[in-house]
Amino acid sequence: MDKIIIDGGKPLRGVVPIGGAKNATLPILVATLVAPGEHRLARVPDLADVGSMLSLLGRIGCPSLGHAGLVSVDTTRVIYNEAPYDLVRKMRASVLALGPLLARCGEAHVSLPGGCAIGVRPIDQHLKGLEALGCQFELSGGYVHGKVAQLTGGRVRFDMPTVTGTENVLMAAVLAKGESVFENAAREPEIVDLVRFLRSLGAIIEGEGSSTLHVQGVPSLTPAKAPYAILPDRVEAGTYLVAGAITGGDITIQGVNPGDLSAVLDALLSAGCTIDVGDDTVRVRREGPVRPVNVTTEPHPGFPTDMQAQLMALLCLAQGESEIRETIFENRFMHVPELQRLGANIDVFGNLARTKGVRQLTGATVMATDLRASASLVLAGLAARGRTEVLRLYHLDRGYERLVEKLQAVGAQVARVGDDPRERAGQPGAAA
């Protein structure tokens, strides 16, 4: 089994380049279905989830070239309107194929994603929104089967702001007849990026970044000539900022939209870090102690649930007691027992985690059940005294591009070892 080995306790210093956002790339890749032809995307991150989405497109009949950096996808023909179980179970974001396939083919069959490690994660809002545009659904054999004779604009009021729900319905609404209005839509930067991409194909959409979206459907869309560059990954960016903070180091993240990081920067400032914001850089330094912080996860622009586990790792070392309330997912404290194995003092009461800071974490073998939880364990390991081994790396591979190399480049003593020679990245101590 592959693992990451960290010899912790060393302040990290240097510059970390940030890649394209996983959660913008996935919807944008599948959105290429709404405009038949050849699409080119730039700043596509080299991630397992991106590979899974390209496999899904391939299965549908849309070949691609490249899997990182510049990727081209040819959606001239769709020969299969299904997102099968073997792909959806690997990556729930495959459910994003539903809206585009209905818009493209008038019929779609998508395996139900089911629950996952962090929560139940139903897709009722996706279906409700698509129904408002005239789609009909039947659930059978673990699949949702959708049909629509003519997509027609409608009013969609989401019960809660859902990121992929908003994206799924949006990708259908762009080709509906007439106007659609979305209320209580999600406002995440990844939605804004999807809107910009759809606009580059000729879609007419207003209101991105607010909770009301107006979509004027058009009869057809065409691939843009210039490659579309995916927005920078704010969660990857935030994770490296915490790496600087937790090790008492000095890290600059490069190629980011600092405005997308406001809630995370506020939390790091409250935790005692010094932050310098440039046009597309953020520098974090920490010389004094970590101060306790209370945070509640919220839809954007609130503190993101995808940074909750990483912030908790930092607060494990605070001088005092911090509270983190998780309001987005019902089971997103799976990292707590693993952080405890590293010496953290955390009590969980329902959706509230109370962390009493300790002077020092100590290395241990840990594993996690989801992507961001795994990231928090790597961060804790970077600060811990002694050796930490992080197992189940497939979670990290889904969302962090060249994690070990990026950490080594800022001085971390970290290495990946395992059976797959392509995944080997030197031994601990070989750090730059």
List interacting residues with ligand EPU (CB under 6 A).
23, 26, 93, 119-126, 160, 162-165, 186, 190, 305-306, 328-329, 371-372, 399
Least distance between ligand EPU and beta carbon 113 (Å): 9
Greatest alpha-carbon span in the chain: 63
Q: Which residue number, 8 or 161, has a Cβ lying nearer to ligand EPU?
A: 161
Minimum distance between the CB of residue 137 and ligand EPU, rounded to whole angstroms? Answer: 13
Q: What are phi and psi of 103, to 5 degrees?
A: -65, -35
Closest CA to 32 of 111, 101, 87: 101
**φ and ψ of 41, to 5 deg:** -120, 140
Q: Please state the closest distance from residue 21 (CB atom) to ligand EPU, in A.
A: 9
Which residue, 271 or 309, is less far from ligand EPU as judged by CB? Answer: 309
DSSP bridge partners of 387:
7
Place of tokens 């290495």: 415
Q: How far is the CB of 77 from ligand EPU (least distance, A)?
A: 26
- Cα-based torsion angle of the residue sequence 195, 200, 201, 202 in order, rounded to the nearest 10 degrees: 90
Angle at 79 between CA 73 and CA 81, to 5 degrees: 95
CB of 95 to ligand EPU, least distance (A): 8
The C-alpha atoms of residue 165 and residue 223 are separated, in whole angstroms, by: 24
Residues 6+ apart with CB under 8 A from 39: 32, 72, 73, 74, 75, 223, 224, 228
Which of 224, 221, 228, 231 is closest to 38 using CA atoms?
224
* Minimum distance of ligand EPU from residue 227's CB (angstroms): 22
Secondary structure letter of residue 302 according to DSSP: S
Least distance CB 165 / ligand EPU (angstroms) = 4
How would you label 212-245 residue by residue, b for 16+ Cβ within 10 Å and e otherwise? ebebebeeebebbeebbbbbbbbbbbbbbbbbbb
Give the C-alpha separation, 306 to 316, whole Å. 18
Q: Reduce the DSSP state of residue 109 to 3 states and report it.
A: strand
Neighbouring residues of 319: CB distance < 8 A, sequence distance ≥ 6: 289, 290, 291, 292, 357
Q: How far is the CB of 188 from ligand EPU (least distance, A)?
A: 6
- Pick the closer one to ligand EPU by CB: 92 or 104: 92
How buried is 291 (Cβ within 10 angstroms: 0-12 exposed, 13-18 middle, 19+ buried)?
Answer: middle
Tell me the H-state helices in 69-188: 85-88, 98-105, 124-132, 163-173
Instruction: Report the residue number, 173 or 417, with the smaller CB distance to ligand EPU.
Output: 173
Q: Which two tokens stand for residue 251?
A: 């890290």
Catalytic hit among 116, 135, 273, 316 = 116
Asked about 116 being catalytic, the answer comes back as yes
| Choice between 95 and 290, CB closer to ligand EPU | 95
> Which C-beta is closer to ligand EPU: that of 10 or that of 395?
395
Between 191 and 364, name the residue whose CB sits nearer to ligand EPU: 191
Q: How many whole angstroms separate alpha carbon 78 and alpha carbon 36?
A: 9
Cβ closest to ligand EPU, residue 88 vs residue 273:
88
- Answer yes or no: are the C-beta atoms of 154 and 132 closer than 8 Å: yes
> Could you give the residue numbers annotated as active site?
116
